[in-house]
Amino acid sequence: MSEIMNNSGVFFALLGAAFATFFAGIGSAIGVGKAGVAAAGVLSEDPSKFGKVLIFQLLPATQGIYGLLIAFLVLSYTGIIGDPATVSMEQGLLYFAACLPIAFAGLMSAIHQGKCSVAAIGTVSKKPDQMGKALILPAMVETYAILALLVSILSVFGIAKM
Amino acid sequence: MPQNDYTYAVARVRFKETQLLSDSDLYQLLSQRDVDTCIRFLHDKGWGDNSKIETVDELLKGEDNKTWKFIDEIIQEDKEILDFFKIPSDFHNLKVAIKSITRDIDAEDMFLYSGTVDPKLIYDCVNKREYERLPEHLYSIADEAMKTILQTSDGQLCDIVIDKACLNSISEIGKNADNEIIKLYCELFVASADIKIAARCAKTKKDISFINRSLAPCDTLNIDRLASCASFGFDSIIEYLSQTEYKSAVSAIETSLSAFEKWCDDYLIDILASQKWEPFTIGPIIAYIIARNNEIKAVRMILFGKINALDDDIIKKRLRKMYV
């Protein structure tokens, strides 16, 4: 029983890493997918816009990368990759909690950034000279993914020092 | 019920919107010397087929076909959602088929190929009296219209029967639609047709039973009242319409029916403005089709105006707002 309790810290930390990768990744996949469909529509009419629409399609991809980054940090601090380390159950639960901001903010922000990118692709398709302004709008959604990433990173670093 | 996602189709429409003629393009077209220079101007804008010399009719028909070919390409599923645009062509083809059979004339050129049913099938079914092979919206009315023309030899009565069935079908589609823009379009289609019928009946002094047979029910007009107003006279219609949501159209109706048609098209374009930027719904696609129809209508007006040597100012007054 005590052995299970000792390992449950690693389990919760791993669960947190999985959440961060899984939810942020799902959000990015949906967002990039939606933007990709719109980009394909524009390209079938005007292939010269490939460079422009690709930027919009890639915008919602960042949340998945943020989730991956947090997952790597957790895996590294808990000894799942790299040097072995001891993780108590409390620490494991804390790591799990630290992963939640990027997991859920990543999921939602990527989906909405994808929708915003679709609309921006429409704008660029109709008015290519408005590329700069159209880019700012979906980029604003990124702010909330960055805030969540910041909280998750600071939390993981803080827990590691405990 | 989840609605379909039209992201891909809307993205393609966005690009196509850039190729629509703007107001200034239309004024430029209007300022051309004659029809030939107009057609050259339109060719430069991507209209028609540059590989051959086309007549005005061929050019306009070709552009209409291009629109529907494009729409068929971008909407793979749930194509029947756009049937409300196509159904009037089916009823037109039914009229043509019945009249060409009963009067024994060749009306091949008068068929429209933008409907939901192949005109040849309609002709064949009517000719052999096999109405059950027709789709539901034509099935019972084909029989009734044929009987009407055979019993009365009255072409106008036959037209009324078919036109009313068309309006009822459109109204039914609007009532069952989930999409707000389809509801609005269908309602305006039926209401504007009712207003035009009432105005024509008032001007030609038709009796109330004829008017009642012609008008189709809709939500924004009380057709019993409209019919009784039409039987009293044109001023009575104006007075009634001043109390409905079409009061802004009254001055256009007083001017002429073509001014009222322009009012309807402009009104639709204004309503569509809010639908332009909904990238996941069918709204921008419907808006594009309406805009394209208006564009073709405007070009038709200019080209035939040039052919008939009409004054540019007269044509200009009838030009619709462009969507771009």
Kindly state whether A90 is in contact with chain B, defined as any CB-CB distance less than 8 angstroms: no
Q: Could you tell me if residue B106 is inside a domain?
A: no
Selected residue of A32, A34, A37 to mutate for chain B interface (largest B Cβ count, 10 A): A37
Residues 6 or more apart whose Cβ sits within 8 Å of residue B153? none
pLDDT exceeds cutoff 60 at B2: no
Is residue B117 within 8 Å of B91, Cβ to Cβ? Answer: no
% of residues, chain B, pLDDT over 90: 38
The CA R_g of chain A, rounded to the nearest whole Å, is 19
Q: What is the average pLDDT score of chain B? A: 88
Q: How distant is the Cα of B80 from the closest Cα of chain A, in angstroms? A: 21
Predicted confidence (pLDDT) per residue in B207-231, tens digit: 899 999 999 999 999 999 999 999 9
User: What is the Cα–Cα distance from B150 to B144, expressed in whole angstroms?
Assistant: 10
Determine what percent of chain B is predicted with pLDDT higher than 70.
97
Q: Which residue in B5, B7, B15 is closest to A45 by CB distance?
A: B15
Residue of chain B minimizing CA distance to A53: B11
pLDDT at B57: 87
**Which one has a higher pLDDT value, A60 or A2?**
A60
> All domains of chain A, ordered by start, with CATH?
2-161 (1.20.120.610)
Give the mean pLDDT of B72-79.
85
Cβ <8 Å between B15 and A125: yes
pLDDT in tens, A75-85: 999 988 888 77
> How many structural domains comprise chain B?
1
Measured distance CA(A143)–CA(A121) in Å, rounded: 20
Give the tens place of pLDDT for each residue, B115-168.
Answer: 889 999 999 999 999 988 998 889 889 999 999 999 988 888 899 999 999 999
| Residue A7 predicted with pLDDT over 80 | no
Decide if pLDDT at A63 tops 80: yes
Strand residue runs (E) in A4-152:
none
ipTM of the complex: 0.78
| pLDDT number for residue A2 | 59
pLDDT confidence of residue B179: 82
The predicted model gives B32-44 an average pLDDT of 89
Q: Assess contact for B20 and B322: CB atoms under 8 A.
A: yes
Average pLDDT for residues A12-19, to the nearest whole number? 96
**Residue A122 near chain B (CB below 8 Å):** yes
| DSSP secondary structure of B19-43 | TS--HHHHHHHHTSSSHHHHHHHHH
Asked whether residue B324 carries a pLDDT value surpassing 60, the answer given is no
> B3 pLDDT exceeds 80?
no
Number of H helices, E strands in chain B: 16, 0
- Are residues B15 and A46, on separate chains, in Cβ contact within 8 Å? yes
B237 assigned to some structural domain: yes
Is the separation of the CB atoms in A105 and A66 below 8 Å? no
C-alpha closest to that of B7 among B323, B283, B273: B283
Domain contains B306: yes
Domain assignment present for B293: yes
- Residue B192 belongs to some domain of the structure: yes
> Which residue of B8, B15, B18 is in closest CB contact with A37?
B8
CB–CB contact B280 A118 (8 Å): yes
State which residues form the domain around B22: 7-82+179-318
- Say how far apart CA A2 and CA A20 lie, in whole Å: 28
